[in-house]
Structure 1
Amino acid sequence: MHPQPPRRSTHVTNSPLSRLVYDRWGEYGRPVLLLHGLLFDRTMWWPVAAELAGDCTVIAPDLPGHGQCPLRADYSLERIAADLAGLVNGLQLHRAPIVVGHGTGAWLAIAFADAYATHCLLTLDEPTGDLPGTVDDVVAAAGLAAVPEHYRPFAEPRRDPALLAAYAGWKAQPPTRRLVVAGPASGPSGPARDSAFAHLSDPEGFAARLRALL
């Protein structure tokens, strides 16, 4: 008889000025930090985290102003990366995390890896230029059509124009990439390319890909 995988638990960091709401699966093993992009929230990672549960400690935070995380004054990449580093260190797992960023969360993942100990960095659907100018443009560029119907509830964007203004400073990508990004596997015709929302198109396969990086 196999033990049940760890259940999801929700936590809040206790700093009033840099509060983060996050979900956690597991108590031991290497931490895996899953970062959503602009207008989305931590629920987009629930299917993958459920697959990974038991193999590592999975952490999926809401970024400021998203999901259940409150607004704040400083939305800079450096400040949020520092808060995430404090969150990971507070777990006291004594292992560098795997950091995964989706969409604009890829820029945050890169900024984290530039500044803090990181075992591996993985980015998905990273924007190639400036952010689109309107909420509708951001949603259209996200590629939601690739998400299977039964996973659509995990990719519901928050259509709040104020978030575009708050995160306007993210238009410039981080200046360096200290850690090489772990891209998709190569095939006979060369490097593979992830489809949009690859983690929701095939959560089991994506979890297996992360498990191989542990």
Structure 2
Amino acid sequence: MQPQPPRRSTHATNSPLNRLVYDRWGEFGRPVVLLHGLLFDRTMWWPVGAELARDCTVIAPDLPGHGDSPARTDYSIERIAADLAALVHDLQLQRAPIVVGHGTSAWLAIAFADTYATHCLLTLDEPEDSMPATVDKLVASAGLGTVPEHYRPFAEPRRDPALLRAYGEWKAQPPTRRLAVAGGVPGPSGAETAFSHLSDPEGFAGRLRALL
């Protein structure tokens, strides 16, 4: 008999004002928090979550206003980082997480690591300076051409200008803080491409596994 694939379960935090919907794989081990970029959703991490599930606890949330997480009034990077920290704390795994940020959520991952206990930080395709001004520019810069056809359903952006405007203040984060934190946290050797978690989920999961 073949073993069953790791089971993904979906949960929501209990705060009615700052609710986050997230998927979870695994029950034990170090938490690994996977953050999708703006306009995408948590499904982009499904292949990697399944690869890692037997080695750790994988958490992939929808950011506010994305996927199944409802919109809110406070989209500040500090507020969302605090909500993620509360989510990790409530898992009661007693270990600092690995935090992975894709695209614009690299800034969120770095803000998290700047304030909360973090075992390791990995960013993919962090914007060089500020957030693209329009949805079309953000999508054009995302590097979707590297995603294999069979994984494209996991990388479908939501083309919503109002959602992008809601996160507009993220581009005002001080670059010196981001660079200082990013430079001080070890990561796997070799550069990660924008969608390496979808172009090579097994290899990407292996590099994360080495950091556990």
Percent identity of paired positions between Structure 1 and Structure 2: 78
Report SS of the residue matched to 2:137. helix
Provide the C-alpha distance between the structure 2 equivalents of 1:58 and 1:148, rounded to a whole number of angstroms: 23
Question: Superposed, which structure 2 residues align to 1:102-141 within 5 Å?
Answer: 102-141=102-141
Misfit runs of 4+, over 4 Å: none
Provide the C-alpha distance between the structure 2 equivalents of 1:193 and 1:211, rounded to a whole number of angstroms: 16
Q: Does the CA-based 8 Å contact 2:188-2:211 persist in structure 1?
A: no
Could you say which residue in structure 1 is the equivalent of 2:99? 99
Q: Does the CA-based 8 Å contact 1:130-1:171 persist in structure 2?
A: yes
Provide the C-alpha distance between the structure 1 equivalents of 2:94 and 2:187, rounded to a whole number of angstroms: 25
Q: Aligned pairs, how many?
A: 208
Per the TM alignment, residue 182 of structure 1 is displaced from its structure 2 partner at its CA by 3.6
TM-score (norm 1): 0.93
Provide the C-alpha distance between the structure 2 equivalents of 1:37 and 1:44, rounded to a whole number of angstroms: 9
Per the TM alignment, residue 183 of structure 1 is displaced from its structure 2 partner at its CA by 4.1
Q: Does the CA-based 8 Å contact 1:5-1:54 persist in structure 2?
A: no
Per the TM alignment, residue 7 of structure 1 is displaced from its structure 2 partner at its CA by 0.4
> Which stretch of the first structure deviates more once superposed, 97-106 or 167-176?
167-176
Per the TM alignment, residue 5 of structure 1 is displaced from its structure 2 partner at its CA by 4.6
Q: Does the CA-based 8 Å contact 1:5-1:53 persist in structure 2?
A: no
TM-score (norm 2): 0.94
| AA matched with 1:20 | L
1:104-126, Cα deviation, whole Å (9 max, x unpaired): 11000000000000000000010
Q: Does the CA-based 8 Å contact 1:38-1:103 persist in structure 2?
A: yes
Report SS of the residue matched to 1:126. coil
Provide the C-alpha distance between the structure 2 equivalents of 1:119 and 1:3, rounded to a whole number of angstroms: 31
Question: Superposed, which structure 2 residues align to 1:128-207 within 5 Å?
Answer: 128-174=128-174, 175-176=176-177, 177-178=180-181, 180-185=184-189, 192-207=190-205
Could you say which residue in structure 1 is the equivalent of 2:208? 210
Per the TM alignment, residue 195 of structure 1 is displaced from its structure 2 partner at its CA by 2.3
Provide the C-alpha distance between the structure 2 equivalents of 1:127 and 1:182, rounded to a whole number of angstroms: 19
Provide the C-alpha distance between the structure 2 equivalents of 1:43 and 1:109, rounded to a whole number of angstroms: 18
Provide the C-alpha distance between the structure 2 equivalents of 1:182 and 1:44, rounded to a whole number of angstroms: 24
Per the TM alignment, residue 206 of structure 1 is displaced from its structure 2 partner at its CA by 0.1
Report SS of the residue matched to 2:173. coil
Provide the C-alpha distance between the structure 2 equivalents of 1:3 and 1:90, rounded to a whole number of angstroms: 30
Provide the C-alpha distance between the structure 1 equivalents of 2:181 and 2:205, rounded to a whole number of angstroms: 24
Q: Say whether 1:11 aligns with 2:11.
A: yes
Per the TM alignment, residue 172 of structure 1 is displaced from its structure 2 partner at its CA by 2.3
Per the TM alignment, residue 6 of structure 1 is displaced from its structure 2 partner at its CA by 3.2
Provide the C-alpha distance between the structure 2 equivalents of 1:206 and 1:71, rounded to a whole number of angstroms: 31
Q: Does the CA-based 8 Å contact 1:120-1:182 persist in structure 2?
A: yes
CA 1:36–1:109 in 2, change beyond 3 Å: closer, same or farther? same
5+ long unaligned stretches in structure 1:
186-191
Provide the C-alpha distance between the structure 2 equivalents of 1:193 and 1:115, rounded to a whole number of angstroms: 25
Per the TM alignment, residue 132 of structure 1 is displaced from its structure 2 partner at its CA by 1.4
Could you say which residue in structure 2 is the equivalent of 1:189? none
Provide the C-alpha distance between the structure 1 equivalents of 2:188 and 2:172, rounded to a whole number of angstroms: 25
Could you say which residue in structure 2 is the equivalent of 1:61? 61
| AA matched with 1:204 | E
